[in-house]
Chain A
Amino acid sequence: MKILRIACLLLITIFLAGCWDRIEIEEFAFVSVIGLDEGEHGKVRVTFLIINPQIGTSTNIQVDEPPNDIITFLSDDLVSCRELASTSVARRLTFSHTKAIIVSEAFAKSDRFFPMLEATQRDRDFRRDINLIVCKEKASEFIRNNHPPFDIRASKYYEFITSRWEDVGFVPLSNLHRLSLRTLDDLGLFLVTYATTKPDDPKTNFDSEGDFIAGQIDKLDENPLQMMGSAVFKKGKMIGKMTGDETRLSQILRPNVITNNILATFPDPLNEEEKVSAKIARRKNKIKIKITDDYPIIDVTVPLVLSITSIPSETDYVTNIKNQELLKNSIQKRMESITMELVKKTQKEFGGEPFLWSEIARRKFWLFEDFNKYNWPEKYKNAKVTVKYDIRIEDFGKHYKPPKL
């Protein structure tokens, strides 16, 4: 009896192997980045970056192999080219560890982009949290041009760089999950990280540290990659671009705090040439929306807490209370004016809002149908928006007074 029981137990372990789906980890080829370009004859050009799992791990096996393999195919869709890959890759491709999908601007602007992504929702291999990046050039070039000096493992690099939005805010949080969410909701704009590896005419006369779109930054670097600003999507299609500052602002105006502790510079009110820089922490916005039949009236109050980090003009804003008020007022004015500019731009140019104000607006309705009928995206175009900033300066850094020269 006892032997029979042990035999049964041993037999059960067979099922632990995963039945028909059993596979050795060595047989997998992990695609860590996918590129999408428009192809000839209505096809799509797909680029896979397949990582070499032997490179960049803590095990000390020295192998003389490249860290990754980049292949580009012309294919009907995203999923079927997995089979095409077997023409040269000796392993089974899997997307379960894919970190980013790179889409060329030209393809993102076409009608075929969103339907192409449907496969990523249906195919079980794709995860909904894959990051989305729009690039200026062809995606196949973007992936090949990118040479991160420290992260040989591309998956790590893309994972780290796409998570930078949290601290900096120049790029938004954009993944497949959110894209499908916002596109299906169709209540406003969706922002996607914008990047390029082909910098052109660097912008030298800029307003502030975020007044760029990827490609305009004057930077000297082995790696040409620049990730800055966002591509604006409406109904699953790219319709425009926003600078880093505008992307930041749109995130500041949202009901939920997701980006915090960002650094920003403001013009010095007493010395026109100079800037004052500060670390900004945001408290919860007060968003009041009044629904009228023709247009919504939106009142937003944004409480910002500043911590000054540099005053290069050496003006005494610390002990001189009058100057402090002056600085506060000037920051407030500036923030309000650039915000209103952005709001006007979204109403006129994009015809939609990236601020997720629809989430507050939907609270004003009782029935789902009523809210749909109200047609928020259309009504937003004529919305009366006022944005107020409530600026508080919390501290002035390590210096008590500006040094005297």
Chain B
Amino acid sequence: MLKKYDGKMGFREFFAVVFFAIGMKLTDTTPILMVELGLNASWMIPIVSGLVIFLSFLFLLSLLKLYKTKSLIDIIYHLTGKFFGSLMILLLFFMVLEYLVVSTRDYADILSTLFYLRTPLKYLLLMLIITAFYISHKGLDIIGSLCWFTYPLIQLVFVVLILLLWKELDFNYLFPLGGPGMKTILKEGVVHSSIVSEIILLSVFFPKVRSYKEYRNANFAGLGISVIFISIFMISFICAYGYFALSTLNYPYHQITRLVSLGRFAKNMESFFLGFWSIGVSVRFGVYFYAGATLGASLIKIKNPKTLLPYLAVIVYILARLPENFTQYVFSVRKVGVTILWTYLLSLSPFLWTVAKLKVEYKS
């Protein structure tokens, strides 16, 4: 039976959105950020981060359940007032913007270093932003359907890659199992929790999801699958390269696609993986653009976030072109972003929950 189309997302669409926003991170420089201190046990870091953010997210869920039709933005305004609310949302907006800028640059860099040597970076960046802009301009329901439509493809590609890689993996590299020690792992897990913090951000889309139950389940499933896959890929990076060689690499995912071959005749398979990867990346940035535009629109009181999209795209393009090389971005801005903003992201939902409690919004 066909459901009547109501322009809203269901479980599977939102699940795919969460997966693209978080899970795709395993293909960029994020794993390298974790390896630095996590050593050969860094595959545990995403799991710790996932658990930490899960706890924080439970507070937010409780609020969303209470207010039924309000999104994260409305809840913030409702609980903290106009001034503080705007400040908090501005901070969230900057986080999305920062992430958009750094990752578009990061991904354009991957393309120009490994695949398109002669094509100017600015052009690759432009193409990435135009595709993402085009996708996000179609609206959230289309983004959702597109995510669900491409999700099986991307998931299959990830699984195929692991299977092809199997003979290259040496699981002894996971030992000594403790790595830098449990204390460091736990600390790094908390510090890097912003890696999986998208589920907090994405709750700006809460009213666009059909029901609270579907929203909750989609987030749990999306977060779970993403964390598992980031972890599995961290394990395969460590097992394929060993800690020392891995810490010297720039783009572990793309280098690993160059290691695999299907028998003797299908070699140089990286272009196969590149195709699917670029689909995933464009969809992912589409989600980000829309989230950024929604946050921005609420700040300057525009009804339709789509009007803000072109401006956002131009700003992202200009900012992404500023630094000389992407290492400056990843190891300065991104590192700061990852390691400082986590306090804000982690404490946001418990804070809102406490305010709600103090204001006696929960009626038993």
B172 touches A360 (CB 8 A): yes
Q: How far is the CA of A369 from the CA of B241 in the complex (A)?
A: 19
B172 touches A19 (CB 8 A): no
Say which one of A180-188, A209-217, A328-336, A385-393 lies at the interface with B: A180-188
Shortest distance in angstroms between B3's beta carbon and chain A's nearest beta carbon? 29
Determine whether A96 belongs to the interface, using a CB cutoff of 8 Å to chain B. Answer: yes
Determine whether B244 belongs to the interface, using a CB cutoff of 8 Å to chain A. Answer: yes
Residues in B whose Cβ lies below 8 Å from that of A127: 258, 268
Residues in A whose Cβ lies below 8 Å from that of B176: 362-363, 365-368, 370-371
Name the one of A184, A256, A368 contacting B179, with C-beta atoms under 8 angstroms: A368
Q: Give the contacts of B241-299 with A (CB-CB under 8 A).
A: 241-245, 248, 255, 258-259, 261, 264, 268
Q: How far is the CA of A129 from the CA of B256 in the complex (A)?
A: 11
Name the one of A21, A128, A371 contacting B258, with C-beta atoms under 8 angstroms: A128
Shortest distance in angstroms between B275's beta carbon and chain A's nearest beta carbon? 11
Residues in A whose Cβ lies below 8 Å from that of B261: 129
Residues in B whose Cβ lies below 8 Å from that of A163: 264
Q: Give the contacts of B147-193 with A (CB-CB under 8 A).
A: 170, 172-173, 175-181
Q: How far is the CA of A97 from the CA of B178 in the complex (A)?
A: 40
A362 touches B175 (CB 8 A): yes
Residues in A whose Cβ lies below 8 Å from that of B259: 128-129, 177
Residues in A whose Cβ lies below 8 Å from that of B117: 21, 124
- Considering only CB atoms, which chain B residue lies closest to A359 in the complex? B172
Provide 22 A-B residue pairs closer than 8 Å at the C-beta atoms, listed in order of the A residue.
A19-B124, A20-B116, A21-B118, A121-B248, A127-B268, A128-B258, A129-B258, A159-B264, A180-B245, A181-B242, A181-B245, A185-B242, A255-B172, A359-B172, A359-B173, A360-B172, A362-B172, A362-B175, A363-B172, A366-B178, A368-B39, A370-B176
Given contacts A365-B176, A368-B39, A368-B176, contact A20 B170 (CB under 8 A): no
- Considering only CB atoms, which chain B residue lies closest to A367 in the complex? B178
Determine whether A15 belongs to the interface, using a CB cutoff of 8 Å to chain B. Answer: yes
Residues in B whose Cβ lies below 8 Å from that of A177: 259
Residues in A whose Cβ lies below 8 Å from that of B177: 363, 366
Shortest distance in angstroms between A10's beta carbon and chain B's nearest beta carbon? 17
The interface of chain A, by Cβ under 8 A from chain B, is 15, 18-21, 96-97, 121, 124, 127-129, 159, 163, 177, 180-181, 184-186, 255-256, 359-360, 362-363, 365-371
At the interface, is chain A mostly helix, strand, loop or mixed? Answer: helix
Q: How far is the CA of A186 from the CA of B255 in the complex (A)?
A: 22
In the A-B complex, list the 9 residue pairs whose CB atoms are closest, starting with the nearest.
A359-B172, A184-B244, A365-B176, A20-B119, A366-B178, A19-B119, A20-B118, A362-B175, A363-B175
Residues in A whose Cβ lies below 8 Å from that of B244: 181, 184-186
Shortest distance in angstroms between A257's beta carbon and chain B's nearest beta carbon? 12
B172 touches A368 (CB 8 A): no
Shortest distance in angstroms between A173's beta carbon and chain B's nearest beta carbon? 11
A20 touches B180 (CB 8 A): no
Q: What's the count of A-B pairs with C-beta under 8 Å?
A: 85
Determine whether B355 belongs to the interface, using a CB cutoff of 8 Å to chain A. Answer: no
Given contacts A129-B259, A366-B177, contact A124 B114 (CB under 8 A): yes
Given contacts A124-B113, A184-B242, A185-B244, contact A367 B172 (CB under 8 A): no
Q: How far is the CA of A267 from the CA of B244 in the complex (A)?
A: 44
Determine whether B123 belongs to the interface, using a CB cutoff of 8 Å to chain A. Answer: yes
B268 touches A96 (CB 8 A): yes
- Considering only CB atoms, which chain B residue lies closest to A23 in the complex? B118
Shortest distance in angstroms between A189's beta carbon and chain B's nearest beta carbon? 16
Residues in A whose Cβ lies below 8 Å from that of B44: none
Determine whether B55 belongs to the interface, using a CB cutoff of 8 Å to chain A. Answer: no
Given contacts A19-B123, A127-B258, A360-B172, contact A368 B268 (CB under 8 A): no
A368 touches B41 (CB 8 A): yes
A367 touches B179 (CB 8 A): yes
- Considering only CB atoms, which chain A residue lies closest to B244 in the complex? A184
Q: How far is the CA of A128 from the CA of B249 in the complex (A)?
A: 12
- Considering only CB atoms, which chain B residue lies closest to A358 in the complex? B172
Residues in B whose Cβ lies below 8 Å from that of A362: 172, 175-176
Q: How far is the CA of A15 from the CA of B123 in the complex (A)?
A: 11
Residues in B whose Cβ lies below 8 Å from that of A370: 176
Q: How far is the CA of A186 from the CA of B244 in the complex (A)?
A: 9
A181 touches B116 (CB 8 A): no
Q: How far is the CA of A128 from the CA of B180 in the complex (A)?
A: 28
Residues in B whose Cβ lies below 8 Å from that of A256: 170
Most buried by B among A97, A128, A371: A128
B242 touches A359 (CB 8 A): no
B258 touches A19 (CB 8 A): no
Q: How far is the CA of A12 from the CA of B242 in the complex (A)?
A: 41
Q: How far is the CA of A96 from the CA of B258 in the complex (A)?
A: 10
Residues in B whose Cβ lies below 8 Å from that of A363: 172, 175-177
Shortest distance in angstroms between A82's beta carbon and chain B's nearest beta carbon? 12
Q: How far is the CA of A185 from the CA of B239 in the complex (A)?
A: 13
- Considering only CB atoms, which chain A residue lies closest to B176 in the complex? A365
Q: How far is the CA of A243 from the CA of B173 in the complex (A)?
A: 29
Residues in A whose Cβ lies below 8 Å from that of B114: 124
B179 touches A21 (CB 8 A): no
What is the 8 Å Cβ interface bit string for chain B, positions 85-119, against chain A (1 contact, 0 not)? 00000000000000000000000000001111111
Most buried by A among B113, B179, B245: B245
Q: How far is the CA of A181 from the CA of B261 in the complex (A)?
A: 19
A368 touches B120 (CB 8 A): no
Q: How far is the CA of A186 from the CA of B242 in the complex (A)?
A: 11
**Known A15-B127, A163-B264; 14 more pairs at CB < 8 Å:** A18-B119, A19-B116, A19-B118, A19-B124, A20-B116, A21-B118, A180-B245, A181-B241, A181-B244, A255-B172, A359-B173, A362-B172, A366-B177, A368-B39
- Considering only CB atoms, which chain B residue lies closest to A360 in the complex? B172
Residues in A whose Cβ lies below 8 Å from that of B181: 367
Q: Give the contacts of B301-337 with A (CB-CB under 8 A).
A: none
Residues in B whose Cβ lies below 8 Å from that of A371: 176
